[in-house]
Structure 1
Amino acid sequence: MTQTTSSTAGAVESRDGTRIGYWKTGHGPAIVLLHGSMQSARSNSMLAAALADDFTVYLPDRRGRGLSGPHKPDHDLATEVDDLAAVVEASGAERVYGVSAGGLVVLEAARRLPAIRKVAAFEPALLTDGTRHTAWLSRFDAELARGDVAGALVTSMYGLELAPPFLKVMPRRLVAALTDRMMRSEDRKATPDASTMRKLAPTVHHEGVILAERADSVDLFADVRAEVLLMGGGKGLPFLAPGRDALAARLPHCRRVEFADLAHDAPCDPAGPSPRGKADMVDRVAREIRAFF
C-alpha cells in the first residue's frame, strides 16, 4: 500500500462464499473504509494513514478488485451489504465509512446491520432523478461485450456526467482513442497486482446496477438508527447534491458537513501523481471522520 504505516492482508468469506480481501493497518477501535467506483482498497491508503494513529483501519476490496473474488450474475446492493457485513463481523467494527458508490453501500448497510453504530459517507451515490444517470448501462454492456473497453468507459463517463468541460467539445471517437492510449500506457507500467483501468472497467456495470436499484428511494433511509456524518464538496458532482439534501432531511441522526472547495475525489488517493494540496484535502476529511468516530 502507498502509505507510511505498515499493513497486513487478510480475508473473510461473504454469505455466498466469495472471498473478500482487505488490508489492515493502525491500532485502536476498528473502522472500515469502503472505496468507490473505478477504485480499489488502495484508493483509501492516504485516508487510512491519516486515521491509523487512532483506529485499526480495515480497507476491503469490493468484488472484482484486488484481493477479492469476482462478481456473480445476481450481484445487487444486498450482496454489497453481505460483503461489508463479513468484514464488520470479523473486525468487530461499529464504525464504517464510504465514498461515492461505497457511501451508498455503507448507508444501506446501516439500514440492515444493527452492529453498525456510526456511518460517515462522502458524496454517497444516491440518485434522485430516476434513470437519468443509469440509462447508459445497456450501451456500456454492449461495448464491453465486444471488447471496446475504452468506448464503454467513455459511455459511463458521459452517462454519469463525469466528463470535464474540455472533453465535452471533443468528438467522442477521439475521446475513446485517447482513453485507449491511456489504458495501454498504464498497462505497460502497471505491476501484476495493480487495479488498472482495464481491470476495473467490468466493475462499472455493477456500480450502475446498484445505483439504479436504490434510485428515488431516499425515504427508506428514515429507518437508519446509526449516527451519520454526511459529507460533500462544493466542487463535487452536482447531481449527487440533491441526494445529500434529501438524506439530511430523513436520516434521524445526521450531521452535515460541506467542504466548499473540495471535489468528489478529495478523500481518495490520486490515480496519478499527487496534485498540490492533496494531503491537506485528505487530512481535512480525516479530521471530521476522526472527531465523529
Structure 2
Amino acid sequence: MVQTVKSADGTLIAYEQTGSGAPLVMVGGALSARQGAAALVPLLAGDFTVITFDRRGRGESTDTQPYAVEREIEDLRALAGAAGGPVHLYGHSSGGILCLEAAAAGVPVGKVAVYEPPYFTHRSRDEPWQVFANKVKTLADTGHGDQAVEAFIRHTGAHFDEGIKQTPWWPAAVALAPTLFYDLTLTADAVVPEERFAGISAPVLALYGDASPDWAAASAAAVASSVKDGHQGVLPGQGHAAAPEAVVPFLLGFFHD
C-alpha cells in the first residue's frame, strides 16, 4: 500500500514498506522511481522492513521548487520519522551520494551502504558540471525531455543505443527528465567531500563491481577512507547495474553484523 509523509517544505513523499524488522530505506539514483528496487525487496523483506520511495518529483511524490540537496535530505529525515527512529540506508549511484549527505547532515541512521556513488567520473574539464546540469535542466523544462535523457546517458560514458527509444523504459525515463538536474546537483564536481563526510559516525559500506569502469573502485576507496567507520566490498562480475542476488549477501552481512 502506498503511503505518504510530508517533508519539511510540504512536499509529499510516496513510499511503500514491506517485511518486518529494522527499517531499511532504498534510495534510487537517476531516472529511477521506487519500482527500481522491486527485485531487491523480496530478498530483504524477511530480515528488514524495506522502505521504497519515490524521490521528490518522481512517481507519486510531489515536488517543490527550487531544488536543493537539503530538501532531499529533509525527505529522508521525514521517512526516518515515519519509520519511528533510525533507519539503515542503501543507495545506488547518485542515490548513494544522497545517503551519505543525509548521514553527514545528521539524519538518524543506523548503517549506510552505497553502490558506486558517481565520484571521480569526469573525463573532461572543458564543460563545468554546473554548465552541463543547467543545459539538461533547460532541455527538460522546455519540453525536450528526450534530448535531456540522451545527453545525460552520453555524459555518463555509457553506450547510447538509439534502439532504447523503442523500449517501454524510454517514456518512463523521459517523464523523469526534470529530476536529472537533481542528480547532477548531488554529484556536483564528482569529488568526495572528505571534510563533510568525516563527520559521519555511522558505519559505511562502499560497494562496487569489478566489471565497472575504474572510477567505481576509486570512489568506493575514497568514500570508505573519508568516514570514521568505512568498509569496502567488491562484487565479482558486476557492473553499475548489479544483479540483486549479487548485492543482497553484502547487505545482509553488513546490516546484520
Q: Same fold (TM over 0.5)?
A: yes
Q: What displacement does 1:186 show? A: 5.6
Equivalent AA in structure 1 for residue 231 of structure 2: R
Are 2:198 and 1:222 aligned?
yes
Could you say which residue in structure 2 is the equivalent of 1:108?
101
SS at structure 2 position matched to 1:261 = coil
Could you say which residue in structure 2 is the equivalent of 1:138?
134
Alignment of 1:110-125 (within 5 A): 110-113=103-106, 115-125=108-118
Could you say which residue in structure 2 is the equivalent of 1:160?
156
Question: Does the C-alpha gap of structure 1 residues 17 and 114 become closer, same or farther in structure 2, counting only changes over 3 Å?
Answer: closer
Are 2:52 and 1:56 aligned?
no
Q: What displacement does 1:68 show? A: 0.8
Question: Does the C-alpha gap of structure 1 residues 25 and 179 become closer, same or farther in structure 2, counting only changes over 3 Å?
Answer: same
Q: Aligned equivalents of 2:52 and 2:183: distance in 1? A: 18
Q: Aligned equivalents of 2:86 and 2:158: distance in 1? A: 33
Kept in 2, the 8 Å contact 1:31–1:57? The answer is yes
Judge which range, 137-146 or 56-65, deviates more.
137-146
Alignment of 1:79-228 (within 5 A): 79-91=71-83, 92-113=85-106, 115-127=108-120, 129=122, 134=129, 135-163=131-159, 167=161, 175=162, 178=163, 180-182=165-167, 187=171, 196-212=172-188, 215-228=191-204
Kept in 2, the 8 Å contact 1:136–1:155? The answer is no
Q: Aligned equivalents of 1:9 and 1:79: distance in 2? A: 21
SS at structure 2 position matched to 1:141 = helix
Q: Deviations over 1:129-163 (max 9, x none)?
A: 59668352233233334422222212111222122
Q: Aligned equivalents of 1:34 and 1:78: distance in 2? A: 15
SS at structure 1 position matched to 2:81 = helix
Equivalent AA in structure 2 for residue 147 of structure 1: G
Q: Aligned equivalents of 1:237 and 1:154: distance in 2? A: 20
Q: Aligned equivalents of 1:241 and 1:80: distance in 2? A: 26
Q: Deviations over 1:242-262 (max 9, x none)?
A: 222211222210111011311
Question: Does the C-alpha gap of structure 1 residues 127 and 72 become closer, same or farther in structure 2, counting only changes over 3 Å?
Answer: farther
Could you say which residue in structure 1 is the equivalent of 2:252?
290
Q: What displacement does 1:128 show? A: 6.8
Could you say which residue in structure 2 is the equivalent of 1:46?
39
Q: Aligned equivalents of 1:282 and 1:137: distance in 2? A: 30
Judge which range, 123-132 or 87-96, deviates more.
123-132
Q: Deviations over 1:62-97 (max 9, x none)?
A: 011112112412x12211110011001110243111
Could you say which residue in structure 2 is the equivalent of 1:255?
231
Could you say which residue in structure 2 is the equivalent of 1:76?
68
Could you say which residue in structure 2 is the equivalent of 1:17?
10
Equivalent AA in structure 1 for residue 211 of structure 2: K
Equivalent AA in structure 1 for residue 33 of structure 2: S
Q: Aligned equivalents of 1:29 and 1:145: distance in 2? A: 39
Q: TM-score, normalised by structure 2?
A: 0.88
Q: Cα RMSD over matched residues?
A: 2.4
Greater Cα radius of gyration, structure 1 or 2: 1
Q: What displacement does 1:216 show? A: 4.8
Q: What displacement does 1:16 show? A: 0.6
Q: TM-score, normalised by structure 1?
A: 0.78
- Number of residue equivalences: 251
